Amino acid sequence: MKIIRLEETTSTNDDAKRGAREGAEHGTVWVAESQTGGRGRQGRTWASPRGENLLFSVLLRIQCLPARVPLIALVAGLAVRDAVARVLPDRDVLVKWPNDVLVGEKKIAGILVESAIAGTKVDHVVVGIGINVHTRHFPEELAAIATSIALEGGHASRSALLEDVVQRLDHDVEHVVHRGLGLVHARLSKVDALRGHEIDIEGGGVAEGIDLDGRLLVRKPDGTLVRISSGEVRGRASTPR
Ligand code: BTN
């Protein structure tokens, strides 16, 4: 695994995208102590105090149809979830569709997948991952919704965690991209944070799981089942139905 370590950068996703254009090899990782323009999904920022957390991006040179990219995001969520669960063996660590990682109701890691298309196919994918490792004090607006490995009582070295996530991702991603979610679907279902919960996406309903194409299954109040391929689920009811 080739790792490029940076003291400071705008965003490791930018470094990985630039690396892709300049010929960096599949599996290259950019990891930074601090980001001046860290990004989250839906145009949000991802702020993290220097040196406390794990901020990295992996370049995947995977040629596939654009429809497969959501599966890569889910597999990345599962890889992060499993690596975090290893250092928090007494806590329930869950994947919230599409790819947030939660402990209890709080977010411990986020994933931003960006892909480059050439013609009708994906040329490469950048998987950007932020895992809260050592932070103990979050800004007021995040304190109620964010947590870290340290706050949950775990101990983790950032480099060991990085290696663990990348190995897990590497193990599953090619298979899933070419053959579908099948093999990891059971693992993912077991750690699905939304399953059985009332959620507030697209008019509301109860989440019934994730299908083999990576879509969220939602049972509407009128009994119909809808499949949602992209979006954001804000919150979830604390008790499952
Ligand atoms: C989200 O939850 O909205 C996604 C957050 C992704 C943050 C990581 S930190 C490393 C990489 N570089 C970025 O700018 N974003 C991702």
At 99, the pLDDT band (50, 70, 90 cuts) reads confident
CB distance 206 to 219 below 8 Å? yes
Edge-first strand listing for the sheet containing 121-131 = 3-9, 29-35, 54-60, 121-131, 106-118, 100-103, 93-96
Distance 187 CA to ligand 1 centre (A): 24
Distance 44 CA to ligand 1 centre (A): 9
Distance 105 CA to ligand 1 centre (A): 19
pTM metric for this prediction: 0.94
User: Distance between CA atoms of 61 and 24, rounded to whole angstroms?
Assistant: 9
Give the H/E segment covering residue 32. strand 29-35
The residues pairing with 35 across neighbouring beta strands, listed in sequence order, are: 9
Distance 45 CA to ligand 1 centre (A): 8
160-206 pLDDT, tens digit per residue, is 999 999 999 999 998 899 888 998 999 999 999 999 999 987 778 99
Q: In Å, how far from its chain's centre is CA 42?
A: 14
Q: In Å, how far from its chain's centre is CA 231?
A: 14
Q: Using a 6 Å CB cutoff, which residues line ligand 1?
A: 11-13, 35, 38-41, 44, 46, 55-57, 100, 110-112, 128-130
